[in-house]
Amino acid sequence: MKPFKTLLNMKSGELNPYKGVIERRLSDTKGMWLDAQAYSKLLNQEDKLIYKVYEVDVPQKSGQLPHCTTIIYPGKVGSEYFMTKGHFHLKEDTAEIYFCLQGEGYLLMQTRQEQVSYIQMKSGTIAYVPPYQGHRTMNTGDEEFIFLAVYPGDAGHDYKAVEERGFAKVLVEERGSPQLMRNPKYVSEPE
Ligand code: PAN
Ligand code: ZN
């Protein structure tokens, strides 16, 4: 393998070159939101783009460092901010670095034992996601929230637990600012 570079457009989050781009629309996020009625209403209006991920062409193998940018668009479903699906790494003892380029957001993390923590992110914030922590990001601002992520090549992605249960906390807007509250729909993971 040869050394290589990628150009990052700091304003749009676009990478050049990139291997692939993943687009997650509202219709890809069914069941993810607290307010099912608000979700259906919004979906009837438009199948909005919630977020996009540009991936650099790096092998998903031990020793490698795949990296990608995520662009989360501003918006809410009911009072809940637009967010990523969220996942644990399949190889759970792998960490990750998030570097915020633009906008404002939250990085929500949770262990399998339901210890929740969060980091507020703005341009210049470098966040460290320790091993064993599920992670999801939300856009709490009015513009695009853009960050670069770097993770171990053998990390893998496990979406199942979050798809089934969500996170123990949700981030909602209350009187104009983000509030973390208990997720009333959350069911604990079986022992
Ligand atoms: C990130 C995420 C990215 C999209 O690159 O994959 O922000 O979020 P979801 O994968 O949860 O849809 C990362 O954490 N990679 O490991
Ligand atoms: Zn990850």
Q: Give kind and range of the element (H or E) at residue 81.
A: strand 80-81
Q: Residue 83: what pLDDT? A: 98
180 CA → ligand 1 middle, Å = 21
191 CA → ligand 1 middle, Å = 26
CB 49 within 8 A of CB 29: no
CA distances (Å), 66 to each of 25, 60, 61, 151, 182, in order?
24, 7, 9, 6, 33
Question: For residue 188, is pLDDT > 90?
Answer: no
For the domain 7-182, what is the CATH superfamily, name and number? Answer: Jelly Rolls (2.60.120.10)
Q: What are the boundaries of each domain within the chain?
A: 7-182
Q: Is pTM beyond 0.85 here?
A: yes
| 21-45 mean pLDDT | 98
CA distances (Å), 30 to each of 72, 80, 166, 172, in order?
17, 14, 12, 18
187 CA → ligand 1 middle, Å = 23
Q: 124: number of CA atoms within 13 Å, CB side?
A: 0
Q: 177: number of CA atoms within 13 Å, CB side?
A: 1
Q: Supply the DSSP symbol for 141.
A: S
**DSSP strand pairing (177-182 vs 169-174):** antiparallel
| 48-71 mean pLDDT | 98
Residue-by-residue DSSP string for 29-64: GTT-SS-HHHHHHHHHH---EEEEEEE-----STT-
**Omega of the bond leading into 17 within 30 degrees of 0 (cis):** yes
Query: For 150-170, what is each residue's pLDDT tens digit?
Result: 999 999 999 999 999 999 999
C-alpha–C-alpha distance, residues 159 and 11, integer Å: 29
Closest approach atom of ligand 1 to CA 86: 11
C-alpha–C-alpha distance, residues 108 and 39, integer Å: 21
Identify residues whose C-beta is under 5 A from ligand 2, the ion.
96
C-alpha–C-alpha distance, residues 75 and 50, integer Å: 8
| 14-28 mean pLDDT | 98
